Amino acid sequence: MYSYPQRTYSDPTPRRPRRMFFVGVFSILMGIMVLMGVCIYAAFGIYNKSNLQNLNTAIQGPVSLPEQASVSKTQIHRPLVPEGTSNKIEIIRNPQPVVKDEPNSGYAPAAVIVPTETETLPPVEEAAPTASSGDPVEPVKATAQASETVIEGTPGPMVADVEFDARELVLVYNTIYPGHRIHPKYWDRPLKAGADDYTYGVVPREDGFLEVASDNGLPKGSLSDAAHIRIPSIGVDSEVANLSILDLGDSRQYETPAHVVGRIPETSNPGETGNTWLFGHLESPVRGEGNVFRRLPEIPEILKNGDPVYVTLLNTDGEEFMYQVTSTTVVHRDNLSLYQTEDSTITLVTCVPRLIYDQRLVVSGKLVGVRKPA
């Protein structure tokens, strides 16, 4: 009788535990990564919330337009020059040997003082130092003695019998370290210094602006809608659009501004009595609606450093209204409510802190000037 060969089949059962093992390891790793992400998100949110109190500030004193006269940077950013000094500094980048009458010769210094009658630096109003007797102290002068030390590669002594004025050293130092060109807020960290202009509290006024008190705003409804906004201190230059009301069935709310600054249309127009409410995104990672007010949280620090912040609104008729920021404050989103004022004011709002957005940064300002179209 013919017998068929027996076939052996591999049992797939042993492979199943191995597959489940890898699935389990992968799930555990994914869970650990998600948990780490949640922890980092929570820690970042707690850190940002801890700094919210730094966003509350207010300026002291009255508000006004910037200075009438245009102030140039050379007048503002000038070095500290000793009184009575009228010397021009000339830097020699590649010093060349200077041949003297003596057998030995020296090298020119890295910076030399060249007197000039055409270009003078403005003196600093600073009292001259006095001795204990009350008599003025003469400028410090010193004489460099001839040095016998010979540096390898040089023909002879570096300098011999040279008189110098200590005031000139200050001028030379100012050319080496440009501290007078750096905003004081960066003096403790010059390597991270920004390009902020240090205005000493003085901001040049744009031509054509006339000063207007905030209590002299026109009646509500007499001017046109806002069309554009500029905040030079933080680089904001954006269109302004009126926000529509969305019907959500059981409730209604204003739409969110997309890549523009949104204005509540029921509030006052620029230049009118009352408060103009403007909203903008700090960032919009989910909806992708832009970050027009990304740098709005920088305003409190600017005010604390003594620099004024101005906001200019342009309406559809071409009229421009300038506001000076007076205060910044942080409130919870549930506590934010629209309000009106008796003066002509402006309020800018954005969400803080980053990744949480449950608070609102409220920046307030008062009208200080107006410019009519040419």
DSSP string, 183-200: -GGGTT-GGG-------T
255 domain residue, yes or no: yes
Q: Among 181, 210, 244, where does a domain finish?
A: 181
* Residue 203 shares a structural domain with residue 322: yes
Say if residue 222 is in the same domain as residue 322: yes
Residue with tokens 């994914």: 30
Q: How far apart are CA 71 and CA 336, in angstroms?
A: 40
* Residue 206 and residue 351 in one domain: yes
What pLDDT score does 34 carry?
92
Domain that holds residue 234: 58-70+199-371
Instruction: Give which of 222, 341, 331 is closest to 275, Cα–Cα.
Output: 341
Residues 278 and 328 in one domain: yes
C-alpha count within 13 angstroms, C-beta hemisphere, residue 79: 21
Tens digit of each residue's pLDDT, the chain (374 residues): 566 566 555 555 556 677 788 888 889 999 999 999 888 877 877 777 778 888 999 998 888 888 765 444 433 334 444 445 444 444 334 444 444 444 444 433 434 344 444 444 455 444 444 444 455 545 444 444 444 444 444 454 444 445 556 566 666 666 666 666 677 777 777 777 766 666 655 667 788 899 999 999 999 999 999 999 999 989 999 999 999 988 888 888 899 999 999 999 999 999 999 999 999 999 998 889 999 999 999 999 989 888 899 999 999 999 999 999 999 999 999 999 999 999 999 999 999 998 889 999 999 999 999 999 97
Residues 303 and 356 placed together within one structural domain of the fold? yes
What would the two tokens of residue 149 be?
A: 């030390």
- The pLDDT assigned to 176 comes to 67
DSSP string, 76-122: HS-----TT--EEEEE-SS--EE--SSSS-EE--SEEEEE-SS--PP
Q: Domain tally for the chain?
A: 2
358 and 209 within one domain? yes
What per-residue confidence (pLDDT) applies to 145? 45
Q: Is the pTM of this model over 0.75?
A: no
Question: In this structure, what CATH number is given to the domain that contains residue 290?
Answer: 2.40.260.10
Element (H, E) at 30: helix 15-50
Q: Quick check: 63 and 368 in contact, CB under 8 A? A: yes
Asked whether the beta carbons of 332 and 358 are under 8 A apart, the reply is: yes
Q: Are residues 161 and 306 in the same domain?
A: no
